[in-house]
Chains A and B, each alone.
Chain A
Amino acid sequence: MTASTKSLRIIHAGALQRVMENCVERFSIQNPGLNIEMKGVGSREGAKRLLSGENYDIIALADQALFAELLVPDVVKDYFVFAADQIVIGYGLLSRESKEITKENWIDNLLKPQVSFARSDHHLDPCGYRTLMVWQLAEQFYNRPGLSSALEAACNSIYPKSLDLSSAVFTGNVDYAFLYSSEAQQLGLPYIALPSRINLSNPAYADFYDRASVTVESKIPGKNVIIHGNPIEFAIGLSKQSQYPELAQSFVDLLTGPEGSSILEECGFIPC
């Protein structure tokens, strides 16, 4: 079989869209004629697509814990952490209260009735359950009982994946959104950086993050599973069903090597 008839299929977290596009561009130069198909989804949804029988060669997800929970050992053998990030509050220059909001007063500004803010769906997307965890941790960190429930009740919009949030803010559909720092940076959105004790960025606070938990749909239809907070880490693995394991491994090597690190940094991620 010649390279021109080969097709590599990649399913990835929506948040990795630009990283994957840049990696595919460089990989295509090294492998002329190779066809590469990419599918960006919420990572939880992506893992479930694999479980339902969809075939992909490479799986890159926004939460390394999803591999152990859903994919190892049946779909994936080994997986590697390649990037870290943090949750921030992105906004636009025309967002209501954008001239007032700071790291200190973000809660009171978001809870104003005229302000709208969004998150992604916690059943489909790690950014969604991470946002709910950030709210729980904020309740403890700022000692404001009932804060998490108040933010949940006030959150006006829920999108399928985090990448949709940055677009929604960019186009002015919502004033604020809880998303990854990398996504805000890619679109040039201003953002509020949250304290590291609550933004899920620092392994030093892993025990504190673990206090937050969210119930999501498990891989068994109709059953739920409780997941706990942990530092944000993106991971990549090869499908055991891949038709082109060597080619897929070369792509993973590119992403986890010096070229991939440069791309990740350009896109606002922390290469690990």
Chain B
Amino acid sequence: MDEDKISESESTIAIERSIQAELLLLLGQRPSHGYELIQRLNEADFKSGEADAATVYRNLRRMDKDGLIKSHWEVGESGPGRRLYKLTPQGESSLKLWAQYIVQQRALLEKFLQAYFQLEESLSGNEDGVN
């Protein structure tokens, strides 16, 4: 695990950009167009809250511009043509980095919860002592 890279990215990763990680993961599973990605994102177990069309399309354009994904127009066989998005090697690396970052955050959150439960237990013990 590249610790330097993670701590560097940690400072720049804002929580609202987590939608990019989610889109990278979905595109890693299979190439999709925006319409389908919005549906898949809203059905995903890891998504909390609603992903609206404007946010998804805006992030797809930004990720395309940043080289994390690439797109081309695909003619529809029985429906409209749509822009199809695919993950690039740079996007794969970014997804890996996101996963490492999330593992690190999970460890920190677990430590927080551990400390909180200890506090809760000690407070409950004090209350018992008072009673």
With CB as the reference atom, state the residue of chain A lying closest to B73.
Answer: A80
Q: Is the CB of B80 within 8 A of A84?
A: no
Q: Is the CB of A81 within 8 A of B42?
A: no
Task: Give the chain A neighbours of B35 by CB distance below 8 A.
Answer: 81, 203, 231, 233, 272
With CB as the reference atom, state the residue of chain A lying closest to B40.
Answer: A204
Q: State the CA gap A201–B36 with chains docked (Å).
A: 14
Q: Is the CB of B51 within 8 A of A204?
A: yes
- One digit per residue, 1 when the CB lies within 8 angstroms of any chain B CB and 0 when it does not, for chain A 27-60 equals 0000000000000000000000000000000000
Indicate whether B87 reaches chain A with its CB closer than 8 angstroms. Answer: no
Indicate whether B34 reaches chain A with its CB closer than 8 angstroms. Answer: yes
Indicate whether A67 reaches chain B with its CB closer than 8 angstroms. Answer: yes
Task: Give the chain A neighbours of B73 by CB distance below 8 A.
Answer: 80, 256
Q: State the CA gap A231–B33 with chains docked (Å).
A: 15
- One digit per residue, 1 when the CB lies within 8 angstroms of any chain B CB and 0 when it does not, for chain A 241-272 equals 00000000000000010000100000000111
Indicate whether B111 reaches chain A with its CB closer than 8 angstroms. Answer: no
With CB as the reference atom, state the residue of chain B lying closest to A207.
Answer: B39
Q: State the CA gap A255–B111 with chains docked (Å).
A: 51
Indicate whether B54 reaches chain A with its CB closer than 8 angstroms. Answer: yes
Q: Is the CB of A202 within 8 A of B50?
A: yes
Indicate whether A206 reaches chain B with its CB closer than 8 angstroms. Answer: yes
Task: Give the chain A neighbours of B81 by CB distance below 8 A.
Answer: 78-81
With CB as the reference atom, state the residue of chain A lying closest to B83.
Answer: A272
Indicate whether A163 reaches chain B with its CB closer than 8 angstroms. Answer: no
Task: Give the chain A neighbours of B34 by CB distance below 8 A.
Answer: 272
Q: Is the CB of B39 within 8 A of A206?
A: yes
Q: Is the CB of A80 within 8 A of B82?
A: yes
Indicate whether A235 reaches chain B with its CB closer than 8 angstroms. Answer: yes
Task: Give the chain A neighbours of B79 by CB distance below 8 A.
Answer: 64, 68
Q: State the CA gap A181–B47 with chains docked (Å).
A: 27
- One digit per residue, 1 when the CB lies within 8 angstroms of any chain A CB and 0 when it does not, for chain B 70-83 equals 00010110011111
| 8 closest A-B pairs by CB | A204-B42, A80-B81, A203-B38, A64-B80, A81-B80, A203-B35, A270-B54, A203-B39
- Which residues from chain A sit less than 8 Å from chain B, CB to CB? 64, 67-68, 78-81, 84, 196, 201-204, 206, 231, 233, 235, 256, 261, 270-272
Given contacts A78-B76, A203-B36, A204-B39, 9 further A-B contacts (CB under 8 A): A64-B79, A67-B80, A68-B80, A80-B73, A80-B80, A80-B82, A81-B82, A231-B53, A270-B53
